[in-house]
């Protein structure tokens, strides 16, 4: 089971992502609506994959990624998720440490591929 943290202040986007992971299977998803909620959550729960919205009410994805990774014992893969034009944010996202940039709404094949890469070999 892959543990995924999805951070987005838009409740509809969060519901769509959770449903996408349900369809893909093999994922336990926790959501946070703010950077503060995400930072609090990782104090007691360690994700295997991070999916972070670019624009948050209390910061942005570029700032949140290093803050999350500083609190985690591992460095999970991370994807910036944005409604902005992906080609415009792809380079800054990679420079900030993201493994890639996903346009909203997320596409099932991309999510499934990321989940597969994060699954332990024994599954």
Q: Which residues of the chain, if any, have pLDDT below 70?
A: 120-123
Domain residues of the chain, as ranges? Answer: 2-118
Fold classified for 2-118: Rossmann fold (3.40.50)
**Going by C-beta distance under 8 Å and a sequence separation of 6 or more, which residues neighbour residue 54?**
60, 61, 62, 80, 81, 82, 84, 89, 93
Closest CA to 27 of 89, 107, 120, 92: 120
Segment 36-69, tens digit of pLDDT: 999 999 999 999 999 999 999 999 999 999 999 9
- pTM assigned to the model: 0.93
State the Cα–Cα distance between residues 114 and 81, nearest whole angstrom: 13
CA torsion sign for 48, 26, 5, 61 is positive
């Amino acid at each position: 089971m892959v543990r995924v943290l999805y951070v987005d202040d838009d409740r509809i986007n969060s519901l769509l992502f959770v449903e996408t992971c349900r369809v893909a299977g093999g994922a336990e998803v926790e959501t946070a609506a703010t950077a503060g909620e995400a930072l609090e959550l990782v104090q007691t729960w360690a994700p295997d994959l991070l999916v972070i919205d670019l624009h948050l009410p209390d910061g942005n994805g570029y700032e949140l990624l290093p803050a999350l990774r500083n609190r985690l014992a591992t460095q999970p893969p991370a994807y910036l998720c944005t409604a902005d034009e992906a080609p415009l944010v792809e380079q800054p996202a990679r420079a900030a440490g993201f493994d890639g940039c996903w346009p909203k709404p997320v596409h099932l094949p991309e999510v499934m591929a990321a989940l597969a890469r994060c699954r332990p070999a024994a599954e």
